[in-house]
Amino acid sequence: MTDVTSTDATTTPWTTIPSPNQPFAPAHPAQPHRGVPGGVGTSARRPDGIPKVKGEFAYSSDLWAEGMLHGATVRSPHPYARIVSIDTSVAKSMDGVRAVLVADDVPGAKVYGMEHDDQPVLAWDVVRYHGESVAIVAAEDPETARRAADAVVVSYQELDPIVDPEFAISGDAPELHEGTGNITRHVKIRHGEQDVSAPVVVTGRYEMGMQDQAFLGPESGMVLPGVDGGVDIFVATQWMHVDRGQVAKCLGLPEDQVRITLAGVGGAFGAREDLSMQVHASMLALHTNRPVRMVYSREESFFGHVHRHPAWMEYEHGATEEGDLVYVKVRVLLDGGAYTSSSTAVAGNAGRFSIGPYECPNATIDSIVAYTNNPPCGAMRGFGAVQVALGHEAQMDKLAAKLGMDPVDLRIRNAMSQGSVMPTGQVVHNPAPVRELLEAVRDAPHRELPVVGERDVIDIRQLPGGAANSTHGEDVRRGVGYGVGFKNVGFAEGFDDYSTARVTLSRGAEGPIVSVHHAASEVGQGLVTICMQIARTELPVGPAIVLPADTQVGSAGSSSASRQTYMTGGAVKQSCELVRSELLDRAAGHVGVARAGLRLADDGTIRNAADGILLDDVTELLSTPIEIEREFRHRETFPMDPERGQGDADVQFAFAAHRAVVDVDAGLGIVRVLDMATAQDVGKAMNPQQLEGQIEGGTSHGVGLALMEEIQVVGGKVRNPSFTDYLIPTVLDMPTVQMTIMELGDPEAPYGVRGVGEPPSISSTPAIAAAVRDATGVAITRVPIRPDDIVFGA
């Protein structure tokens, strides 16, 4: 077995800033675990690292089975059209084609969805977005499958697409989904007084484009037909149990005949929450009784998953002359596209987090998500909080400017803290170190930066435009900007959010061995490492292994909402504790002593109350394995009431702040990010090296959103479905991220952890927008910031 527990990590120096004053002292000791090699708090190596560097890790696009067929999908070229007819005869007659299926061939429910069953497995009657699936094909080789898909003749009658969400909900537009008025959800939050005025008022309108998750491993997987009439699905997904429910319904099968195993996942970021090829490949496999593999191309991938909701935001902030917020009024309009996906939850988040991590006695918040004929939007890292952070942070800068205050001072003056009240009325019970995070980024050292304005004295590769040689420093202006943001960890608004873990302690060939089985998706974030570390810490009696994730164990919930370390980590910890308790029972019985006072020490020995060694090897207690499977739940949450949006909707909040330093070539509108400093409260750094990787990666998504990433949708059609035209940051675009990690600890969470994946994507974008404003004096109300916005901006 691979020794994956080495701890001699070459991490960069690890900083933990001490809690600055008493109220923020860790509510929960942040380092309860001492010295278990590879345990919690160490930079243990990824168990999947070796196969990944050797090219041996089996991603969902690398699967192979004897006799397999290849699937392909026919997609709508129109954003909105009536399907007049579908002629599959030519495609069916082609050599090597084994199946061509349409909506009539769907064996069970014809629609599915995460929140509402409204998305057709295969469209019939109408298509509602560019790229919607209409037919599927299986053939002996991928090329034949592609050609057969092209040979399916669909005749459409084009309809006028509804592409403006404001028009969609105006009452004048035709309804895309009956009885909805094209409003997927309207979240209303009414906090404090509704008719207040204030001496200082700033207003603003802000806009965010449609971002794509752009994971590198395309949607893909393999389905094997089972002898029982069911299917075995190997797929890259974020939540296999919710996949299973939807697939079973559409196939008309009981859930236990849909067995899912996680295949290697090449990134997710929200884009694998909804189904992609699962039902399609299953239909083809059942129809042909052959294994079927489907692998999307990069172009198809842009049509194969939901995107981040574009947003239009109107803000009004009222404050006293001293800079205390009096009221905030917000209207957020999100474009949810053609189908619901997770839009209702995104709108909930956009509403709850719309004023940012600030105290404000009065708030009027409307968060609306619309159906249109644009691509469906759903989950992406930051989930609703990313959009509004652009708005609330721009407003704080505007207010600071109007008051003649320093923007960080204004934020600190209004910063939320432990005990603050959310606009939903929820009291923030746990540490909320907004002030401390802002101070940390403000006081972070400034790196040595290239000197602006001196011709030819520096490496042009450090200037905006880089090796393109577009400037030698003339017209380059520097700016500094700040952003802070927060969001919830875990599923909210009363959702029954849980995870399941089965832990088995057994006798292996070389002694005791701990195996952990759960259904949580390792998407790259390093959950397998964390689970292994927890098992080692809680049961330090032998090596710990994490078994492949599959549906033979209960649901773990989704690898989203920054929740898996908390939830599946919590489930593993809980099951390990129960295994340990049983082990101590057995030890007491075996030796014939009282159970009270016995404990399992970090060195794997069982000690008595006087710390004497009772048993130095537990192997003899394991003639039968100890196996525990339990569900772990976080504290209950509650819905927001529909009229005033009041309710304890969230489990935990996670906070981060960023400071961005940019150089802008004001003549060409090119921005270079020189430095990002961030501070984040993580509760407990479970694996410092992986944590840093999450923060750096999350920050890069924010850099991309600020400066380059946008799906261009014109008249409902996606114009840039490729990495040639949809740009994500390269290594030339990303500065080194300096970070301050706080471990304040949430006493309700296992080890005190706070979710870490999303916060870096929330505060990074507004910080860059602020820095560009600072450099150029241009208002910058929209991201991604386009060169034209800078050059021709007011």
Partner 1 sequence: MKVTLRVNGQTVEAEGVWPGASLLTMLRDDLELPGSKNACEQGECGSCSVLMDGELVCACLVQAGQAEGRDIRTVEGLSGEGDGDVGDVQQAFLDAGGVQCGFCTPGFIMAVDHLLSHEPAPSDETTREALSGNLCRCTGYEKILDAVRLAAERRADGSAVATTGGAQR
Q: Which does 382 bind (CB under 5 to 8 A by kind): ligand FES, partner 1, none?
A: none
Determine, following the binding rule CB under 8 A, whether residue 736 of this chain makes contact with partner 1. yes
Determine, following the binding rule CB under 8 A, whether residue 641 of this chain makes contact with partner 1. no
Determine, following the binding rule CB under 8 A, whether residue 728 of this chain makes contact with partner 1. yes
Distance CA 37, CA 51 (A): 22
DSSP state of 434: H
Determine, following the binding rule CB under 8 A, whether residue 693 of this chain makes contact with partner 1. yes
Determine, following the binding rule CB under 6 A, whether residue 468 of this chain makes contact with ligand FES. no
Using CB under 8 A, pick the residue from 5, 19, 42, 61 that binds partner 1. Answer: 61
Using CB under 8 A, pick the residue from 46, 130, 435, 658 that binds partner 1. Answer: 46
Cβ at position 693, least distance to ligand FES in Å: 9
Identity of the residue numbered 362: N
Which 3 state secondary structure label does DSSP give 477?
strand
Judged by CB under 8 A, which stretch of 225-233, 272-280, 523-531, 550-558 contacts partner 1? 523-531
Using CB under 8 A, pick the residue from 261, 344, 417, 462 that binds partner 1. Answer: 462
Cβ at position 524, least distance to ligand FES in Å: 5
Q: Where are the beta strands (DSSP E) in 128-196?
A: 133-139, 153-158, 183-191
Determine, following the binding rule CB under 6 A, whether residue 267 of this chain makes contact with ligand FES. yes
- Torsion of the alpha carbons at 191, 197, 201 and 206, rounded to the nearest 10: 40
Judged by beta carbon, residue 152 or residue 214, the one nearer ligand FES is 214
DSSP state of 407: H
Size of the chain, expressed as the number of residues it contains: 794
Q: Which residue bears the tokens 């409204």?
A: 118
Using CB under 8 A, pick the residue from 5, 42, 43, 533 that binds partner 1. Answer: 43
Judged by beta carbon, residue 731 or residue 794, the one nearer partner 1 is 731
Q: For 60-121, give the secondary structure using H, E and C.
A: CCCCCCCCCEEEEEEECCCCCEEEEEEECHHHHHCCCEEEEECHHHCCCCCEECCCCCCEEC
Cβ at position 75, least distance to partner 1 in Å: 18
Give the phi and the psi of residue 111 in degrees, each rounded to 5. Answer: -130, 155
Distance CA 480, CA 660 (A): 6
Cβ at position 700, least distance to partner 1 in Å: 4
Using CB under 8 A, pick the residue from 205, 510, 620, 723 that binds partner 1. Answer: 723
Q: What is the DSSP string of 207-275?
A: EE-------SS-SEEEEEE-TTS-EEEEE--SBHHHHHHHHHHHHT--GGGEEEEEPB----TTTTSS-
User: Which positions from 287 through 316 interact with partner 1, judged by CB under 8 A?
Assistant: 297-298
Asked if 7 and 43 count as a contact pair (C-beta separation under 8 A), the reply is yes
Cβ at position 96, least distance to partner 1 in Å: 12
User: Which positions from 538 through 577 interact with ligand FES, judged by CB under 6 A?
Assistant: none
Q: What is the DSSP string of 47-64?
A: TTHHHHHHT---BTTS--
Asked if 526 and 693 count as a contact pair (C-beta separation under 8 A), the reply is yes
Q: Which does 49 bind (CB under 5 to 8 A by kind): partner 1, ligand FES, none?
A: partner 1
Determine, following the binding rule CB under 8 A, whether residue 456 of this chain makes contact with partner 1. no
Judged by beta carbon, residue 268 or residue 671, the one nearer ligand FES is 268
Distance CA 535, CA 542 (A): 10
- Which string of x and - marks every residue 169-208 that binds ligand FES (by CB under 6 A)? ----------------------------------------
Cβ at position 711, least distance to partner 1 in Å: 15
Which 3 state secondary structure label does DSSP give 386?
helix
Using CB under 6 A, pick the residue from 161, 524, 569, 735 that binds ligand FES. Answer: 524
Please give the size of the binding site for partner 1, defined by CB under 8 A.
66
Distance CA 121, CA 134 (A): 8
Determine, following the binding rule CB under 6 A, whether residue 216 of this chain makes contact with ligand FES. yes
Determine, following the binding rule CB under 6 A, whether residue 427 of this chain makes contact with ligand FES. no
- Token pair recorded at residue 651: 């489990």
Residue numbers of the site for partner 1 (CB under 8 A)? 2, 9-12, 43, 45-46, 48-50, 52-59, 61-62, 141, 143, 213-218, 264-269, 297-298, 459, 461-462, 467, 523-526, 689-690, 692-693, 695-700, 722-724, 728-732, 734, 736-737
Rule CB under 6 A: which residues touch ligand FES?
216, 267, 524
